[in-house]
A and B are shown apart, each in its own frame.
Chain A
Amino acid sequence: KQEVTQIPAALSVPEGENLVLNCSFTDSAIYNLQWFRQDPGKGLTSLLLIQSSQREQTSGRLNASLDKSSGRSTLYIAASQPGDSATYLCAVLDQGGKLIFGQGTELSVKP
């Protein structure tokens, strides 16, 4: 059974720092991996999708990597801003076409 784990559970950094969020999954038979952002009490905003054959994807200050064989992904946020404060969720698309989510990393960027 696929399990997705994210560490750390919470992270607090000063504005301007670069940071890395980690995601690991137990079954490498995935179609893709998506990173989402969730603001408190709100929906899920898709940030990046990495297909299983890709190693990384970039969007603005965000860069996500995928190492399928080792079951790991990282989300790198450059030059963090207070507006980046949110919970970041990692999810893998399994062989049945459903997303399996991690529990998220709650990020706080202090001005």
Chain B
Amino acid sequence: EPEVTQTPSHQVTQMGQEVILRCVPISNHLYFYWYRQILGQKVEFLVSFYNNEISEKSEIFDDQFSVERPDGSNFTLKIRSTKLEDSAMYFCASSVLSLSSYNEQFFGPGTRLTVL
């Protein structure tokens, strides 16, 4: 069964460093998303992406964040200068459809980012 994959599973970095989190969405999906979950808190939406453009972004997704689909399979989230408060589990998701009741988002296993 097709699934969303994410690498690495755990990333430790120093404050101020750049990190890139990688995702391979399900192959026939067209819409891609990043969410994050700070320990003990709700899962929060960061950004959605379609046709090589950001569709929507949350207030969290400031100038320190960027997303890219560098090739036909990968979808990346870059944090330019990490802060302590960026420590969280980051989930990638993908879906075939978007603004539809049939939009079912499939999630990857997550990357745990620890900023020291």
Contact = CB atoms under 8 A, between A and B. Distances in A.
B107 interface: yes
Interface string A42-57: 1111100101110000
A49 B104 contact: yes
Contacts of B65: none
Nearest to B112: A41
A107 interface: no
A101 interface: yes
B105 A34 contact: yes
Contact of B104 (A34, A41, A42, A43): A34
Interface of B: 31, 33, 35, 41-45, 48, 55-56, 58, 89, 91, 93, 98-110, 112
Interface residues of A, number: 27
Interface string A78-111: 0000000000010101011111111110000000
A33 B81 CA distance: 35
A53 to B, nearest CB: 7
A43 B107 contact: yes
A32 interface: yes
Contacts of B93: 99
